[in-house]
Amino acid sequence: MNNLSETATLLYQEFGCLTLTTKQLAQVLHYKTTRVLLNAISSGTCPVHTFRAGKCRVADIRDVAEYLDKARAH
């Protein structure tokens, strides 16, 4: 865990995993519902890369943290 950014470390502490489910990702990115997030993923407008892990769609906390850090910088 030493190579995680501060933001990624905070996400890890909050969720206890290196990947976020779509429900968790919707919460972090302030999407109104998980369905709205899934629609954004399908249309290619979700700002964070997601991928399939078995039957689930997830996002790596490092990608989420990078997006949040860039958004905060603007």
Q: Tens digit of pLDDT for each residue in 21-70?
A: 999 999 999 999 999 999 999 999 999 999 999 999 999 999 999 999 99
Q: Which helix (H) or strand (E) holds 52?
A: strand 51-53
pTM of the predicted structure, to 2 decimals: 0.92
| pLDDT value for 74 | 79
Q: Please report how the helices 61-73 and 6-15 are oriented relative to each other, as an axis angle in degrees rounded to 10.
A: 130
Average pLDDT for 2-20: 93
The structure tokens listed for 51 are: 């991928």
Angle at 21 between CA 32 and CA 63, to 5 degrees: 95
d(CA 31, CA 73): 20
What is the reported pLDDT for 1? 59
5 pLDDT higher than 90: yes
